[in-house]
Structure 1
Amino acid sequence: MSYTKPEALLSTEWLAANLDDPKVVVVDASLPRVGVKEDTRANYRDAHIPGAPFFDIDVIADPNASLPHMMPTAEIFAEGVCKLGISNDTKVVIYDQHGIYSAPRAWWMFRAFGHDNVGVLDGGLPKWRSDGYPVASDTVVPSLAEFSANVRPELLRLVEQVNANISSGGEQVIDARGAGRYNGTETETRAGLRSGHIPGSLNVPYANIVKDGSMVDSTALRHAFEAGGVDFAKPITTSCGSGITACILALGLYLEGRDDVAIYDGSWTEWGGREDLPIET
């Protein structure tokens, strides 16, 4: 069974055939995994897909936020992607060093700023390399481009909206964290956070829809969400630890036809860090 909207997920074969297309820009949007000491910037310098600049999710972000990698203004986003050689006519291909981990965050950011011509490389850099395609260690200096960002507020949820939704029940909130963190039986990876989940939220761990660094097929995708109690006919917001793996769920839902899924940007780093917000375990 094929995906309903397969254009958001690109194969290594497709990228290899289109890598030299001047209208295609591929970027590395890697972040260190939570709880793992790794330098994704240094890894990028050692080996990246030829021609790919580094999309720094921690830099193309709100510089005044106390929470990690919060959404920037349209102006900051546009300035950041212009420096990567990306214009409104560009086909953007995003990958990360772990397969599918942080690349969907950058994918969602582009969509939230009005750019739909964007896809995630299925399997990321590991699959690119295992399929025998070349990597580079040169310094990539993109030509400056022009990009106009147009915010889609419907794809973003703030804490006030999520809190109000607890009583209204207008949207399903799906938590991408593992079951232990969701249930409060495992200590949070970030210091100072309470354990548990947003009252009424569902749990679909992102690891249930990614296998060996690639997205599972359509049948397995739908099964994973339905097993978590998700109703595909109702509005959906996804959440996680800090707004990264929530975007993996959004990508999976997009592939199944849901292009209207919102992200709770602050996610558990915000919710679990505030004593004035309710939790369930």
Structure 2
Amino acid sequence: MKDMPLIVTTDWLAEHAEDPGLRIIDATVFMSFPEAGGPPNVESGKQAFTEGHIPGAAFADLAGELSDTASELPFMVPPREVFIEKLAELGIGDGTFTVIYDRNALAGEDVAASYWASRLAWQMRYEGFSQVAVLEGGLQKWLAEGRELSTDTVTYPKAKFTGQRRPELIATKEDVRRAIEDGQTILINSLSAEEFHGSRSDDPRSGHIPSSEHVFFGDHADEQTKALHPDDQLRAAFEKTGALDPANKVITYCGGGIAATWNALLLNKLGQENVAVYDGSMAEWASDPSCPVVKSGN
């Protein structure tokens, strides 16, 4: 496929389902937050995948094999060679194109955002895989439209990959420190308003990075249909921050670098290509006493 869209519809996926170059990937992770606060509980979606998935799909272990398990921080990018080898085993590489979906799996929440799929898609683009898209609305939208599921095990032939890493897509703690004082770098906090303002937090310190703008990752799609809002509505959410100005660079962040990739993907969809994700996000930033955190009053 010559020009892979960033986001594809369920109709698009159904239409292309028999293409021999297509790889469909389920990247579901289940995450829930303890009532008493603290770090989230994380569970692989593998069992749910075996019970039913989009026909032709294989499962990618984002919480385990495709994150840096040696890091003290959650969901950090793994070593390049490990990531590429795992994707090659899934059949993803040169001459293929990939559609990733998830189950919108934040327990107890109605927020519609395919952020596990966008996380894997972002990691793939970072390592140089360009032919990758996220399925709009994920499995929930697929099921709501009466489409079939499968329990078949799919194994694609092992692939070869020759792409190059794109370091401009990732931001480090030092990049963020510099961005605070840089008027042409827009920091976007992707968490809820309560987390942004500091009245609620799952991190060591509550609040946000100084100079940050706020765009909640959960405001971009219809909670009932799971379909994305029209582009003009998406654009309005970001325009007020300066993030769509082509002269600016954007760094998105959240709690652990997951929801930030959803905002980054939508910025890309709206034409802003100069977007990096702060991989460590608040999990790293708030753990370092030398990194400033501010609260706001509303």
Q: Same fold (TM over 0.5)?
A: yes
Aligned pairs (5 A) from 1:1-281:
7-35=5-33, 40-58=45-63, 59-98=65-104, 100-186=114-200, 188-190=201-203, 193-212=204-223, 213-228=226-241, 230-233=243-246, 234-281=248-295
The letter for the 2-side match of 1:7 is P
How far apart, in 2, do the equivalents of 1:232 and 1:168 lie?
14
CA change 1:6–1:44 in 2 (3 A) is same
Tell me the alpha carbon deviations over residues 100-138 of structure 1, each in whole angstroms, 9 at most, x when there is no partner.
Answer: 231111111111111221111001101111112211123
Give the CA deviation at 1:6: 8.8
Q: Given that residues 187 and 253 in structure 2 are in contact (C-alpha distance below 8 angstroms), is that contact kept between their aligned partners in structure 1?
A: yes
How far apart, in 2, do the equivalents of 1:76 and 1:246 lie?
23
- 2:109 alignment partner in structure 1: none
How far apart, in 1, do the equivalents of 2:170 and 2:87 lie?
20
Tell me the alpha carbon deviations over residues 4-45 of structure 1, each in whole angstroms, 9 at most, x when there is no partner.
Answer: x99211011111111111100010111223427665222111
Q: Given that residues 78 and 149 in structure 1 are in contact (C-alpha distance below 8 angstroms), is that contact kept between their aligned partners in structure 2?
A: no
CA change 1:141–1:12 in 2 (3 A) is same
How far apart, in 2, do the equivalents of 1:238 and 1:228 lie?
12
CA change 1:189–1:159 in 2 (3 A) is same
Tell me the alpha carbon deviations over residues 200-255 of structure 1, each in whole angstroms, 9 at most, x when there is no partner.
Answer: 11100001112223322101101111244545231101001111010110111111
CA change 1:215–1:6 in 2 (3 A) is farther
The letter for the 2-side match of 1:248 is W
CA change 1:82–1:39 in 2 (3 A) is closer
Q: Given that residues 202 and 230 in structure 1 are in contact (C-alpha distance below 8 angstroms), is that contact kept between their aligned partners in structure 2?
A: no
How far apart, in 2, do the equivalents of 1:238 and 1:144 lie?
33
The letter for the 2-side match of 1:225 is F
How far apart, in 2, do the equivalents of 1:6 and 1:80 lie?
22
The letter for the 2-side match of 1:199 is P
How far apart, in 2, do the equivalents of 1:39 and 1:111 lie?
22
TM-score, length-normalised on structure 2? Answer: 0.86
TM-score, length-normalised on structure 1? Answer: 0.91
CA change 1:255–1:130 in 2 (3 A) is same
Unaligned runs of at least 5 residues, structure 2:
34-39, 105-112
Deviates more, 1:142-151 or 1:70-79: 142-151
How far apart, in 1, do the equivalents of 2:162 and 2:250 lie?
27
How far apart, in 2, do the equivalents of 1:153 and 1:101 lie?
21
Following superposition, which runs of at least 4 residues in structure 1 exceed 6 angstroms of deviation? none
Helix, strand or coil: the match of 2:235? helix
Helix, strand or coil: the match of 1:107? helix
The letter for the 2-side match of 1:87 is G
Q: Given that residues 4 and 131 in structure 2 are in contact (C-alpha distance below 8 angstroms), is that contact kept between their aligned partners in structure 1?
A: no
Equivalent residue pairs, number: 274
CA change 1:165–1:229 in 2 (3 A) is closer
Tell me the alpha carbon deviations over residues 32-89 of structure 1, each in whole angstroms, 9 at most, x when there is no partner.
Answer: 2342766522211111111211112222122321111111222111101011111121
How far apart, in 2, do the equivalents of 1:274 and 1:39 lie?
29
Unaligned runs of at least 5 residues, structure 1:
none
How far apart, in 2, do the equivalents of 1:137 and 1:256 lie?
36
Taking only the aligned residue pairs, the percentage that are identical comes to 35
Q: Given that residues 61 and 76 in structure 1 are in contact (C-alpha distance below 8 angstroms), is that contact kept between their aligned partners in structure 2?
A: no
**Which structure is higher in RCO with an 8 Å CA cutoff and minimum separation 6?**
1
